[in-house]
Structure 1
Amino acid sequence: MVKMFEDLYSDLPYPINCFLNQVSDYIIINLDKKLNIIGFNKNFLDITQLEKEEIIKLKLNEVFTGETIGYSELKKIKNYKRFELSLTKKISTSYSYLNFTCYIFSLKENGFYLFGQKNNLKQEDVINKISKLNNQLSNATRELNKKNFHLQEANKKIKELARTDELTGLSNYRHFIEYTDRVISYSQRHLFPLSLIICDFDKFKNINDSYGHDVGDEVLKAFGQLLIAESRKGDMAARIGGEEFAIVLNGASLENGINYAERIRKKTVNLEVPSLSQKLTVSMGITELRNSDDYNTFFKRADLALYKAKENGRNQVCSQ
């Protein structure tokens, strides 16, 4: 009668019981002294894909190949010995790549017990597992790239907000200082012309007092859009105060800068703002960078030119 161990091993000798408690996927084979199979567990039956009656007729060396496992070697075992064994093709060709780390325990006059733990998968299982891992890795990489992209976009947006005037969409005063300081060094090093314009609305307080601050904000927004539309790539337009603006013109001489400023001044007069019936005017001061300039002297000279435009009657461009 075929003997089956349904993975129940609590009544086995202590060394065997200890081993089985440490593995979750194992085979058990009971051998007589002639190494005939006289019993086995369900895991072994599932792996061989044979009928119980077919297995019981087999000898150990018909099931496993690898190290020498004859009786003369096994009878020398005092307690147990480890073997690295592979299933033979006689058992199942589909498992020809299946290897086991096996422990054979001597039961003295009662034969042997073999306990094996699978340590290799079938070739197709290995390929499938690698393919699955590759897919998981690809999916994880895509998710990581997506998160990194969103993080970069968020950081870019935060950086943009940190240097942008919320009302007008122009650069704010802090960004203006950083940018101007940088282009001053570059222009002086490479002998490129650089001009700075500072402009201020004439009698802007009257607009706020007469029409309200909401209309005043609409004026500032409209002027900001005008500067954005008229600025070249590489130039910077910034709101540096309440109704005060600055434009840095890269590669522009004083003459070119004056032409630009005049164009802005004339377009401001024709600027249309809802709820505002009066014409808008701005005064503008401009200067060109000198070799001895730093940010402070450059800005102060443009500011003095603006003050001169105000003193001379407003709605004009003055240079310094």
Structure 2
Amino acid sequence: MTVLAGIGAITTLVQVVYLLINDSVICVNQGCSVVESLLRIPPLWFNGAGAFFFLSLLLAAIVARFSPGAQVFLRLLLFSGMAAEGVLVSYQAFVAQTFCSYCLFICFLIIVMNMLAGWRQACLAVLMFATELIIFSLLQFHNPGAGKKSFNIDHGTYAIKRCASPQRQLYLLFSSNCPHCRRVLDLLSTCTRCEVRFNPVQQIDKQVLPDLVPMDSWNPDINTLALKILGIETIPVLIEKRANGMRFIRGESDIMTYLKQNCLDPLPVAGESKDDFFLFDFAGEDECRMDVDCGEQMEPPVNLSDNR
């Protein structure tokens, strides 16, 4: 148990240090970013609390070898950790609807330590965890766009790049961890003929789009929900808003081709259809799945100052 507590302490401390240096968490999938964006407190505080918990657990596990009183405190810590993990896992399962691999690893450590603390501790911990899962499964949570308020993708816009006489209105749905999105953003720095709304699927740092002014209020969950409704699991996605509908372009190469033809070149492509209500241009190899990290962190800044 001492070894597992030590592993948990080291893991959370490394995460805290990485957050201090890079302002992002270490995670092997996109679920971490989604869950992180739903926190009401900074991720640094959240991970700092986790590090404090595991350090306390490590100290209690060491002292418990010599003191019966410390064993009681150790069991209480393990039980409280299991209660917290039950809430966090339930929230990911029924609210965020995506899982954070780092969070699941921490949950695994706490479950195993409760198992090692004896059958009574194990039974109580499993009962607590199962009860929280059941309760969460019976509750209905608010979804962006649900209820009386109508769904509007404008509510997911982080910032707008304007031009003097825009010929098209576009929405770019992207992630700050996707290299294909990065290259599209680089190309958009030369855009002169289109108004572009930037709709991230997660919270982003201001340095990602340093030359644009963020909206006072925006919600990245709107963008994630829009893609889920359309059955799209990859980014980047470019949406062209038309008078009679929308056009969706997927993948780095198709989006860049569209931008070069319609937003950068002097003239748009001749013969382009204007009558499609929903037109999907599908791509595949130049996209990032929203639930898998592409493995290349976006490096700010990108010059997206207005070209007038």
Q: Which TM-score band applies after superposition, normalised by the shorter structure?
A: under 0.3
Indicate the structure with greater strand content. 1
Question: Does 1 or 2 have the higher relative contact order (CA < 8 Å, sep 6+)?
Answer: 2
Q: Report the structure number with the largest CA radius of gyration.
A: 1
TM-score by length of structure 1 reads 0.19
